[in-house]
Each structure stands twice: as structure tokens, then as C-alpha cells.
Structure 1
């Protein structure tokens, strides 16, 4: 029987941190919507979230990070670690990417934040540049966890290529959805992009 690791629930301290991060992000999005990204200062965001500016910077090193940071990566990693050890890489990554996203999209507030985030990525060069850095960080994280599960070196070239291809397909699908005015089911669009890639991607040898 295949052993499956059950993701642990975040500690009370971590849950409090998550609530603070969310409060800061939601205050920021309200201000961005009302007065624009460039017209909003970190001090204004702090006031709206009822925290200090130093607290904002403790959670988000830059204003761009307020837009782009979320709780998705840790949940995605937990999902990936919980997949069966013998499952093909692409299938494991597909589950890890889509599972947390479906939960996020089920929350109307989270879904609207995602739409706002993507609009800012499209319209603000600094946010777009920072997103590129974040995508690289997420790719490295997923590749490292995948290599760990398979008992391979952390910098395994084949795994990095597969993960990079999946993340690239994911990004293209998201912006395709946004360019089409977000009318389609985003999770279905993303699932289709990974399905297409999986059908044409040669899996690294075991």
C-alpha cells in the first residue's frame, strides 16, 4: 500500500500571521481600486489595515509583494508532498497546482483579489517584473520538493525542465483567461493547459 503524508494544520501562530497578511492585502486592494497603485503609499495601507508601516514591511518587503504574495505556495507544497510516491511527476504537479487553486476560487473574496492582482500585473511594470522573480522562486521550490520525493539531487536538470514547462503553461493560461475578460472557468482553463502539456511532454525516466 502506498504511504500518503497528510498535510498538517498550521499552528495558531501561523494562522494569526496569515490573518494579518490577508488584512494588509485586502486593505491594499481597496486603496489600489480607489486611488490607483502609484497613488497609494505603504503608510496608507498600514493605516487602513490598522497596523504599523514596519509591520507591513515585516510581512511584505516591497509594495509589489503585497500584490503578489499569498498563501498558495505553502499549500501547494503540502499537496505535492501528500501525493503517492510512485505517481508520475506531471500528474503529481497537476494535482498540487490545481487542488489549492480550486479552494481559492471557491472563495469570492479570494477570486476577486486574484483578478485585481492580474490586472495590476498587466498595468504596473514594477509588479510585472516582481512577478517574474516570484515565478522563478515558485519553480525552484516545486522542483526541489519534487526532487526530494524522488530521491534525486535538488538541482536535477530534467525535473527543473518539467516543472518550468508546467509553470510556463500555467502562466500562459492565466493571462489567456484574463485577456478573454475572465468569463471562462479559470480552474478548467488551467486544467486544460496542464492536460495539453502532459499529453505532449515526455516524462523523465524513473
Structure 2
């Protein structure tokens, strides 16, 4: 018997216009933040660049900070998808490493620099950024518990999720930016990809042999 499928309803004209307006606001905000930094741009300037009024902008976003984190779930969803769709025999760590390296190859050093120019050092966004990473960890942990057959809320799954999202936190850190910028511009993508691999390898080795205090010379 032929399978009956339900057609997916296409958004109406009104809804499509709303989506286009929202995206125009986000695109303008991203461009201006990268050009001038978060604190160097006003909501009025973003609205003007998107050809909307400030009142219209605030019907889509409650705060200026929301413009930075409006689609924060997309990266979390992509990381989770990378873990769920990994090849047999591949670890979750390898899946996240590969995903981040692919992201680095696509955006390269310019993507990392753009991130820091826009929001990386903005004090007013720091607490929101920490909340974002916590949400990523909380989203990934149940997936890892399910993948390993552990009970929901298993502490090991949350520890692993914290470490895996820690890879993302580290490659967006000022220290990583400094290392990438120390390379010639043409080599910055390769430098970022290399460091993602180095960090993942270190994480894979665990902490059992890390920072072991040497025996005292007196003994």
C-alpha cells in the first residue's frame, strides 16, 4: 500500500514577511557588531540599517543582548546532531572535534576574530554567554546518557557534556584568538584547526597523568 504523506504547510505571506524582517534585523546587527563592537552600536542604528523602526525591532527582540543570542540553539542543535549521526565506532569526542574543525575550516580565523570583535570581550554579555554554555551542556548531557545507556541525570554524562562544550568555550577564548592571530593570515584557519585537534587529543587522554607533582628531591 502506498504511504500517505501529509504535505508540509507553507508559511503564509504575513508569516514570511515577519521571518524576513526578523532576519534582516539579525543580519544588520551582526554586521554592525562585527564592524564596531557590541557597545559601539545603538539599537536605533541597527533598526535604521534594517529599514525598520525601533518600535518594530522591539516587537521581535526584547533587548539588545537578544540580538546576539537570538539563534543560540542552532549551534547546540548542530553539536547534538553531530553526536547522534556519528559513524559506528566513533566517540562523541571525535564527533564534536570533527564538527568544530569543519566549522573552523568554513569560518577560519576571520570567524573567530569577528566573534571577538562583536561580543568576545563585552562585559555586559559575559553572564549571558556563561548561561549559553550551561544550556548547551544541559542539552547535550541527556543525549550522552541515552547514547551510553545510562539513567537520565547520570553525573558522568553531565561531566562529559561539560568537557565537550569546554572545547567550544576554549576555542572561542581570548587565549585561542591570540594564538591564531600570531600566525600569518593565510595560515590562521590551519592554526585553529590544529589547536582544536590538540585540545581534543589532550581531553581524550584524561587528567590521570596531567599535572602530576614530581617527587621531592629530598626523598
TM-score by length of 2: 0.65
Q: Match for residue 102 of structure 1?
A: 102
Separation in 2, partners of 1:101, 1:32 = 25
Q: Match for residue 80 of structure 1?
A: 83
Matched, 1:117 2:123: no
Separation in 2, partners of 1:26, 1:54 = 18
Structure 1 residue 51 displacement after superposition: 5.0
Unaligned 5+ segments in structure 1 are: 1-10
Alignment RMSD: 3.5
Matched, 1:190 2:196: yes
Separation in 2, partners of 1:81, 1:53 = 41
Separation in 2, partners of 1:49, 1:105 = 29
Task: After TM superposition, list the pairs within 5 Å mapping 1:12-27 onto structure 2.
Answer: 23-27=24-28
Count of aligned positions: 185
Unaligned 5+ segments in structure 2 are: 1-8, 209-219
TM-score by length of 1: 0.69
Task: After TM superposition, list the pairs within 5 Å mapping 1:33-48 onto structure 2.
Answer: 33-48=34-49
Task: After TM superposition, list the pairs within 5 Å mapping 1:121-136 onto structure 2.
Answer: 121-136=119-134
Q: Match for residue 92 of structure 2?
A: 92
Q: Which has the larger radius of gyration?
A: 2
Do the aligned partners of 1:72 and 1:100 also contact (CA within 8 Å) in 2? no
- CA gap of 1:102–1:44, structure 2 versus 1, over 3 A, is same
Separation in 2, partners of 1:83, 1:104 = 19
Cα deviations across residues 9-47 of structure 1 (Å, max 9, x unaligned)? xx986xx89977664343113323555422423343233
- CA gap of 1:201–1:34, structure 2 versus 1, over 3 A, is closer
